[in-house]
A = this chain, B = another copy of it.
Amino acid sequence: MERASQTSRAVYPGTFDPVTYGHIDIIKRAHLLFDEVIVACAENAEKATLFTLEERIAMLREATEGIAGVSVEPFYGLVVDFVRTKKINVMIRGLRMISDFEYEFQMALTNRRLDDTIETIFMMPSEQYSFLSSKLIKEAAGLGATGLVSFIPAFVEERLQRKLHRR
């Protein structure tokens, strides 16, 4: 049955600047539900990112290495266009807080109008990551914080510190 094989694949889109344990938690949870999870990393020409697309993808790949069924790909432009190209009909988003909720709802409803064959489903990270954000990690590191390994993998922290303090 066509539909069934589609539902075992899902896209998890984001900017991942850089990937955190909150993202990794969602990837693992998504992978319990879907055979194949494509982590789609946004080019985001509009928003300035700290890491380049290539750097963000390299970190995502390193962080998800060895999880069969999880792959990482860049995307340009609208996420619904990327998802449609892949012949997938479900996107995953992590929901952390109230402000997330509103933004995510806006995005999901806009995406639904752009392509109503694609559904967004929301998953909940573990409580320990419920307030974690890439933005806060970057701010903390920028102000001199070290030992961020309860938030991000060690190799990500190393690159973050190098990016922020050594150039």
Contact = CB atoms under 8 A, between A and B. Distances in A.
Contacts of A121: 33, 121-123
A109 B69 CA distance: 26
A161 interface: no
Interface residues of A, number: 54
How many copies of this chain?
Answer: 6
Interface in A77-106: 77-78, 81, 89-90, 95, 97-99, 101-102, 105-106
A47 B90 CA distance: 35
Which residue, A7, A89, A120, A137, has most C-beta atoms of chain B within 10 A? A7
A46 to B, nearest CB: 6
A62 B147 CA distance: 37
A115 to B, nearest CB: 10
13 contacts: A3-B32, A7-B33, A33-B89, A77-B144, A95-B122, A97-B105, A97-B106, A98-B101, A101-B101, A105-B124, A110-B140, A121-B121, A122-B124
